[in-house]
Amino acid sequence: MTDTKTKIAAGLEQAFAARGFAEPSVEDLRDAAGVSLRTLYKYTPSRADMVLAALEHRHERYLSHLFNDLPKAQEAVLDVLFERVGAWMATETSHGCLFHGAVAADPGSEGLRALLARHKAEVARRAAAATGLAGREIDLLLILEGLTQAWSLHRDTAVTSAKRLGHGLRMNSAA
């Protein structure tokens, strides 16, 4: 990504995360991106392109947040992943998954549905590989998604519960 494209995507991501997908005007999005309207439209010619750019940026940041510098011991990785999801929720969004929010705002968008599916599949695949739980991607995804949705109500207790479920999954997989 070029510096300008990254700057635009980062600003759009923050605007949509803070205000949802319907509320910000194009002028608000331009201001959030920190570029002229002409430059905004050069890189993202439509509102749909703006949403996709924001979510692609979010996808990369989320993967980095979760999976960079994980412990070497696979047994420790589960707890770290769940703690990182809790930290993400505390600092990035306390009201659920931005990808699901985008699809809810535009349920007919095949592009958004495809991005949501790709994002969740990659998170699940990488979590399974990092934890040594290959073949349990859907189980891990359900725990991660449950944590994301429950965090706004239960915060640290949700993280603790996710850890307990993860340990149960590991024990069940070893048997």
Same domain, 29 and 64: yes
Q: Could you tell me if 91 and 60 lie in one domain?
A: no
Question: Residue 160 has what pLDDT?
Answer: 98
| pLDDT at site 75 | 85
* Domain containing residue 19: 1-68
**Do 55 and 91 have their domain in common?**
no
pLDDT digits (tens, 9 = 90+) for 54-110: 999 999 999 999 999 999 998 899 999 999 999 999 999 767 899 999 999 999 999
Same-domain pairing of 137 and 77: yes
Among 27, 49, 68, which residue terminates a domain? 68
Q: Are residues 45 and 10 in the same domain?
A: yes
Question: According to the model, what pLDDT value does residue 108 have?
Answer: 96
Q: Which letter does DSSP use for residue 107 in this model?
A: T
Residues 33-42 have pLDDT tens digits of 999 999 999 9
When divided into structural domains, the chain yields a total of 2
Residues 57 and 76 in one domain: no
pTM of model > 0.85:
yes
61 and 104 fall within a common domain: no
Boundary-marking domain end, from 50, 68, 86: 68
Q: Dump pLDDT digits (tens) for 3-58.
A: 999 999 999 999 999 999 999 999 999 999 999 999 999 999 999 999 999 999 99
- Per DSSP, the residues of 43-98 read H--SHHHHHHHHHHHHHHHHHHHHHTT--SSHHHHHHHHHHHHHHHHHHT-SSS-H
pLDDT (0 to 100) of residue 56? 98
Q: Of 48, 68, 88, which one is at a domain's C-terminal end?
A: 68
Q: Are residues 40 and 86 in the same domain?
A: no
